[in-house]
Amino acid sequence: MSTAHHVLQVGPLMPSLTRRLADDYAARQLPADPDDRAGFLAEHGAEFTAAVTSGGVGVDAGLMQALPNLGAIVNFGVGYDTTDVEAAHARGIGVSNTPDVLTDCVADTAVGLLIDTLRRFSAADRYVRAGRWPVDGMYPLTRDVSGSAVGIVGLGRIGTAIALRLKAFGCTISYHNRHRVPDSPYPYFPSAAELAAAVDVLVIAAAGGDASRGLVSAEVLDALGPQGYLINIARGSVVDQDALVTALTEGRLAGAGLDVFAEEPHVPEELFGLDNVVLLPHVGSATVETRAAMEDLTVRNLDSFLRTGQLVTPV
């Protein structure tokens, strides 16, 4: 495999992947403490040719400068918005991610979150556990999922997989994308606000990064309106989180299902007491099978780069 110390792990990863990197590639971990990190990079930065990281941490331009011989950034996850891809490409550094292997899993999460949010199953579960059913009677009526008008922001691999699943529920699908998708069977809306005004449920499946930051703005939320629901399994940065919290606490949205947040793992406490909001701790791809497939693809990218200089799934 690789020569010792050529691989750098940046940030925490799955324990099994961390073990593989250490055992098979003699990878070293970047210290978390800023003072220790500075000394480590000054002494060892030039040794590393590949860095392995995750979508939650990434490699910024400053770290790239401290790694002058870096040739590849291998990202565990489909999202890579925390890595400065433009700076990497300018320095001739390849970047990879793990597409496709998590598409179905994240799409399943989106549909499950949508159903939970509209039908309030999690809230109904809490109602039973609190002993309220015998005291307060039947749980209040909720909203149908089947037949809903669903708008998808970001009709890529995951967005398309979500649409396929929701078609089986008899939902009507439309979408907004940076560009119209050729041969898509779904109606296209040129803006997120126009899409939001036309649907019951807005599902966010857009890639993160500066291009989509704040795309779901206060204007979009107002267009979705007090009968509309927001589902986000993309990135917290895509939604104006302050505007979302305000809309939910003021009753200007019917509800929200959120797997991602602006500053994870911190979640706005104003949402904790709302039964029309479902909160998940970024578990969209968190199954044994999917994470194993992501790990394998991460290692394939790393191994390919170290052997041939080429990445399997470059971005």
For 43-94, the pLDDT digits (tens) are 999 999 999 999 889 999 999 999 999 999 999 998 898 999 999 999 999 9
Structure tokens at 199: 């649907």
| pLDDT reported for residue 1 | 40
How much is the pLDDT for 208? 86
Q: Is the pLDDT of residue 2 over 60?
A: no
How far is the first Cα of the chain from the last one, in angstroms, to the nearest whole number? 24
Instruction: Please tell me the predicted confidence (pLDDT) of residue 56.
Output: 87
Judged against a pLDDT cut of 80, whether residue 281 lies above it is answered with yes
Say how far apart CA 163 and CA 64 lie, in whole Å: 38
List pLDDT tens digits, range 137-178.
999 999 999 999 999 999 999 999 999 999 999 999 999 999
Phi, psi values for residue 216, rounded to 5°: -90, 90
Question: Which pLDDT value is given to residue 6?
Answer: 93
Distance in angstroms (rounded) separating the CA atoms of residues 147 and 167? 9
Catalytic residues: 235, 264, 282
Number of Cβ within a 10 Å radius of residue 154: 23
Please tell me whether the overall predicted TM-score, pTM, comes out greater than 0.85 for this model: yes
The amino acid sitting at 55 is: G
The Cα 221–Cα 212 span in angstroms is 15
Give the burial string for 4-30 (b: 16+ CB within 10 Å, else e). eebbbbbbebeeebeebbeeebebbbb
Percent of the chain with pLDDT over 70: 98
Query: Is it the case that residue 185 has pLDDT exceeding 80?
Result: yes
Instruction: Say if residue 54 is exposed, middle or buried (CB neighbours under 10 Å; 0-12, 13-18, 19+).
Output: buried
- Cα–Cα distance for residue pair 225/271, rounded to 1 Å: 18
Task: Among 3.40.50.980, 3.40.50.720, 3.60.15.10, 1.10.10.10, name the CATH number for the domain at 7-101+289-308.
Answer: 3.40.50.720
User: Does residue 28 register a pLDDT over 60?
Assistant: yes
pLDDT at position 4: 44
The rounded distance, in Å, linking the Cα atoms of 61 and 88 is 7
Strand arrangement, sheet containing 277-279: 172-176, 149-153, 201-204, 229-232, 255-258, 277-279
Distance CA 82, CA 262 (A): 12
Q: CA 74, 258, 286 angle in degrees (round to 5)? A: 45
Rounded average pLDDT over 24-28? 96
Distance CA 159, CA 174 (A): 11
Q: Determine phi and psi for 29, rounding to 5 degrees.
A: -100, 135
pLDDT at 211: 86
Q: Are 170 and 199 in contact (CB under 8 A)?
A: no
For residue range 204-254, list pLDDT tens digits in order: 999 988 889 999 999 999 999 999 999 999 999 999 999 999 999 999 999
Q: Closest Cα to residue 50, out of 88, 6, 2?
A: 6
- Per the CATH hierarchy, to which homologous superfamily does domain 103-279 belong? NAD(P)-binding Rossmann-like Domain (3.40.50.720)
Tell me the C-alpha to C-alpha distance, in Å, between residue 94 and each of 27, 47, 91, 128, 310.
18, 17, 9, 52, 8
Pairing of strands 50-54, 7-9: parallel
In angstroms, the CA 198 to CA 305 distance is 46
Question: Could you state, in order of their start, the residue ranges of all structural domains in the chain?
Answer: 7-101+289-308, 103-279
Domains 7-101+289-308 and 103-279 share a fold: yes
Residue 162 and residue 152 in contact, taking contact as beta carbons nearer than 8 Å: yes
Q: Give the contacts of 197 (CB within 8 A, at least 6 positions apart).
A: 223, 224, 225
State what percent of residues in the chain have pLDDT above 90: 95
Average pLDDT, the chain: 96
